[in-house]
Amino acid sequence: MDMTVKPLHPIFAAELIGADLSVEPTQELIDTVEQAMATYAVTVVRGANVSDDDHIRFSRAFGPLELPPGLGRAAGVAPAKRRMRAELFDASNLDENGEIIPMGTGRRKLAKGAERFHTDSSFNPLPTKWSLLLGHIVPPVGGDTHFIDTRAVYDELPATTREKIDGMEVIHDFWRGRELTGLTGVTDEMRKTMPPVTHPLVRTMPYGRKALYIGGHATGIVGWEEEDALKLLGELYDFATQDKFIYVHKWRQGDLVIWDNRCTLHRATPLETDEYKRDVRRTTINEYGPETSADAMAA
């Protein structure tokens, strides 16, 4: 297989050209992707244009799937109508029938939280390894995705700040994070579905580099008052989101974008129109363990 990896940004991110994801992944492909991810943290597979089955098979070559809520403990319960395989997360602006969900509705409002830099599933007890998002329908305007390499961010922090934050434990709370971006009406029952969890503020990657583990779901620091914690987390967020750290991905039809949730942040940019469909489907994988859903882990 003739594959080429080309950098997309001075700090991180690369594109992989020539990979065939429509067949069982070869060891050469697996090794190439693993190396690209360790080096660049974000890898874009150009022209993937594969089925849900292919997407899932390729993802499982790198780790067990994190399943969408409801899977993993819903034996005997009929699944809701879906446009796609149940193992996939739907990041589209489409309903179950493939029609555009109008702007201003509850589902579109909840998705607004993804416009703040975050890392997928940091609010779960087991943080995830990678996310793999495939563009089935890409609108002609809007819908870019921005990425940050938090390894590079950590490296550029002042030494005094690195010393201060090493060893801190951060509270990641999906619902509190959404409230801080303006969501109202969160109930106790909703909170029970995804209760707060804690993770180290600084994570060490398997190959030794350190990375900040922050973002929109990071809402507190263990042992700190919320106001003080949000102040420090806000300062780290502001430092991390400088333009020099950001790679802007402008989607092409058939792109499969892979990012490492352990050492990157990302955000969606708004599609401020009901004119265009956007169909993007995501798998997320864990480093280890059985395939299970986040709500099953929290139960």
Residue 209, pLDDT score = 98
Residue 193, pLDDT score = 86
Q: What is the C-alpha separation between 118 and 261, in angstroms, rounded?
A: 9
Residue 111, pLDDT score = 61
DSSP annotation of 168: -
Lowest mean pLDDT among 123-132, 228-237, 269-278: 269-278
CB atoms within 10 A of CB 182: 9
For the chain, percent of residues with pLDDT exceeding 70: 91
Per the structure, the complete domain to which residue 174 belongs is given by 4-298
Q: What is the C-alpha separation between 297 and 146, in angstroms, rounded?
A: 29
Residue 290, pLDDT score = 93
Lowest mean pLDDT among 77-91, 210-224, 247-261: 77-91
Q: What is the C-alpha separation between 116 and 119, in angstroms, rounded?
A: 10
Could you identify the residue written with the tokens 């089955």? Answer: 53
| 66-122 confidence digits (pLDDT tens) | 999 865 433 344 445 678 999 999 999 999 999 998 887 766 556 666 889 999 999
Could you identify the residue written with the tokens 């333009």? Answer: 243
- Grouping H, G, I as helix, E, B as strand and the rest as coil, residue 21 is coil
Q: What is the C-alpha separation between 65 and 88, in angstroms, rounded?
A: 9
Amino acid at 275: E
Q: What is the DSSP string of 70-100?
A: TTTS-TTSPPPP-SS-TTSEE-SSB-TTSPB
Task: Give the CATH number of the domain where residue 76 resides.
Answer: 3.60.130.10
What tokens appear for 228 in the block?
């003080």
What tokens appear for 257 in the block?
């974008």
Tell me the mean pLDDT in the region 246-270.
96
| 140-175 confidence digits (pLDDT tens) | 988 999 999 999 999 999 999 999 999 999 999 999
* Average pLDDT across the chain, whole number: 91
Residue 106, pLDDT score = 64
Tell me the mean pLDDT in the region 210-218.
97
| 43-72 confidence digits (pLDDT tens) | 999 999 899 999 999 999 999 999 998 654
Beta strand 42-45 with 14-17: parallel, antiparallel or unpaired?
Answer: parallel
Instruction: Quote the number of domains for the chain.
Output: 1
User: Is the Cα dihedral 200, 204, 210, 214 positive or negative?
Assistant: negative
Contact criterion met (CB below 8 Å) for 244 and 152? no
Q: Residue 7 phi/psi, 5° resolution?
A: -65, 150
DSSP annotation of 118: B
H/E segment holding residue 263? none
Q: What is the C-alpha separation between 263 and 57, in angstroms, rounded?
A: 24
| H-assigned helices in the chain | 27-40, 52-60, 106-111, 150-156, 159-165, 174-180, 188-193, 226-240, 294-298
Burial class (CB in 10 A: 0-12, 13-18, 19+), 129: buried
